[in-house]
Amino acid sequence: MNPRGISMDIAIIGAGLGGLAAAVALQHHGHRPVIFDKTRELGEVGGPLGISPQTLRLFGEWGIVDGFDEISSATQYFENRDQLGQLEKITDYAATPEAGAEHGRFGYADSDLAPRTVHRADLHGLLVSAVGPEQVRLRHELSGITERDDHVELTFADGEVVRAGLVIAADGLRSRARKMFSDDDIHYCGSVIFRAVSPAECLAIPNDRLRSWHSADYAKHVISMPVRAGRQVAVDATLGVDEPPLHLWSARADLQALAGQFDEFDPVVGQMLRAATGPVYMHPVYDRDPIDRWTTARVALLGDAAHPMTPFGGQGANQAIQDAAELATQIAAAPNGDYTEALQRYQRVRTERTAEIQRAARGYADRRARVSLRLADILVR
Ligand SMILES: Cc1cc2nc3c(=O)[nH]c(=O)nc-3n(C[C@H](O)[C@H](O)[C@H](O)COP(=O)(O)OP(=O)(O)OC[C@H]3O[C@@H](n4cnc5c(N)ncnc54)[C@H](O)[C@@H]3O)c2cc1C
């Protein structure tokens, strides 16, 4: 035993939606994992997420569905419009559970339960409360991970060492733990997304559904959805841009310049963007190729660390949460802390499905054309 080390049963790296969902699911089965995250504070980050009926059922099992209903909105309808606002298609998820086979197959549509939309920060806050903030250790950046016969040794950037019987690595797109399994690199998918949140009053129409507008070549695409139980509308405005944008993750948009990119769109798009109540950050879209192996005897990858995908299929958060449920179920069934088989079963169930979704999500990115644009012209200098 390392004299400086502390020991625990299960450690989770990453307090994103995947890591937190894993903690909630494990607590449901009587475990008390500790979560480590490199961030200094948990704050208001991200934009809108669509949550599928399959994920909602897990929230029901974990006893958090009432809390979730308070912060989210049911969105039974999805309207697709061209850039001028002409309606192309309206999907009623209840009447057509097979709608959008790419989503329906993985449980996005359901005749009994409408999907719901939520701001990532609100779902994140709900999961932190469910786990208990005392279980989350911030300012812990994983720098090393070594697997021994009877434990895993985690080393953090400040030199602290932790020993755990089992490690769930939910450390996102740029996962440190993934290096145990693959030396692959992140892949730029040719788009950047600007995420805005605006008051619902900026819409002259009810804020009760998913809506999207797109240019004919999909180089420009906007999706909006209700968040904060309908009080606000969240907008993801996507531009196809050739160059990986200097690996900028959080550059801020100049709102007028960004809205100007959508001058030829239905005016409601510009209205929503100009009405943003907070800074609008740019998120370049990256993913990775699927990999077959995510687990060892004592380490399991989960969420974006295992299968980062573009957000265009609306599945990144849903799949991370569904990973969490499957992994916790398998761990709960493991005899006397012998996790090897449990992790293998988890890997078998989840790799094939998520690889298919990853490929589909990249396909949506690949079909988008690019605009000729200097990103610097729409960013705050
Ligand atoms: C800030 C942020 C905003 C996002 N906003 C949106 C959005 O608006 N819409 C959308 O569709 N998707 C968004 N995503 C992505 C979406 O949340 C994920 O695709 C999905 O939820 C899977 O989550 P995850 O927990 O696997 O990964 P993530 O949500 O990326 O979480 C990974 C966590 O690991 C932590 N971490 C990383 N490296 C280390 C390390 N070495 N040591 C310790 N901790 C580490 C990170 O700080 C982070 O909290 C966002 C992700 C992030 C991080």
The per-residue pLDDT for range 11-57, each reduced to its tens digit, is 999 999 999 999 999 999 999 999 999 998 887 677 899 999 999 99
What's the gap in Å between 130 CA and the centre of ligand 1?
18
pLDDT digits 0-9 by tens, 258-290: 999 999 999 999 999 999 999 999 999 999 999
Ligand 1 residue neighbourhood (C-beta within 6 Å):
13-19, 36-39, 45-47, 49, 120, 140-142, 170-173, 176, 195, 303-305, 311, 316-317, 320
Residue pair 70/229 in contact (Cβ under 8 Å)? The answer is yes
Which ligand 1 atom minimizes the distance to the CA of 140? 43
Contact by Cβ (8 Å): 145, 155: yes
Please tell me the distance between residue 259's alpha carbon and the centre of ligand 1 in angstroms. Answer: 27
Cα dihedral value 368, 369, 374, 375, nearest 10: -10
The secondary structure of residue 227, as a DSSP letter, is E
- Residue closest via CA to ligand 1's atom 20 equals 317
Residue 249 pLDDT exceeds 70: no
* Type of residue at 322: Q
The atom number, within ligand 1, closest to the CA of 143 reads 41
Give the pLDDT band (50/70/90) at residue 6: low
Mean pLDDT of 311-331: 95
**Whether the predicted pLDDT of 107 surpasses 70:** no
Nearest residue (by CA) to ligand 1, atom 2, is 46
The pLDDT tens digits of the residues spanning 75-92 come to 989 999 999 999 999 988
Q: How many angstroms is it from 317 CA to the middle of ligand 1?
A: 9
Q: What is the pLDDT of residues 148-167, one digit of tens each?
A: 999 999 999 999 999 999 99
Q: Tell me the whole-structure pTM to 2 decimals.
A: 0.94
**pLDDT averaged over the chain?**
91
Instruction: Name residue, tokens 């939910």.
Output: 170
Residue located via tokens 């449980």: 107
- Smallest CA-to-CA distance from 20 within 5, 8, 7, 37 is with 37
Taking the CA of residue 119 as reference, the ligand 1 atom at the shortest distance is 8
Ligand 1 binding pocket mutation candidate from 24, 38, 315 (most atoms within 8 A of CB): 38
d(CA 3, ligand 1 centre) in Å: 32
Confidence band, pLDDT 50/70/90 cuts, at residue 185: very high
**Of 49, 120, 168, best ligand 1 pocket probe by most atoms within 8 Å of the beta carbon:** 120
Mutation test residue for ligand 1: of 126, 171, 232, 327, the one with most atoms within 8 Å of CB: 171
1 pLDDT above the threshold of 50: no
Nearest to 230, CA basis, from 113, 53, 69, 111: 69
Say what the pLDDT of residue 3 is. 42
Which pair of structure tokens corresponds to residue 331?
A: 């761990």
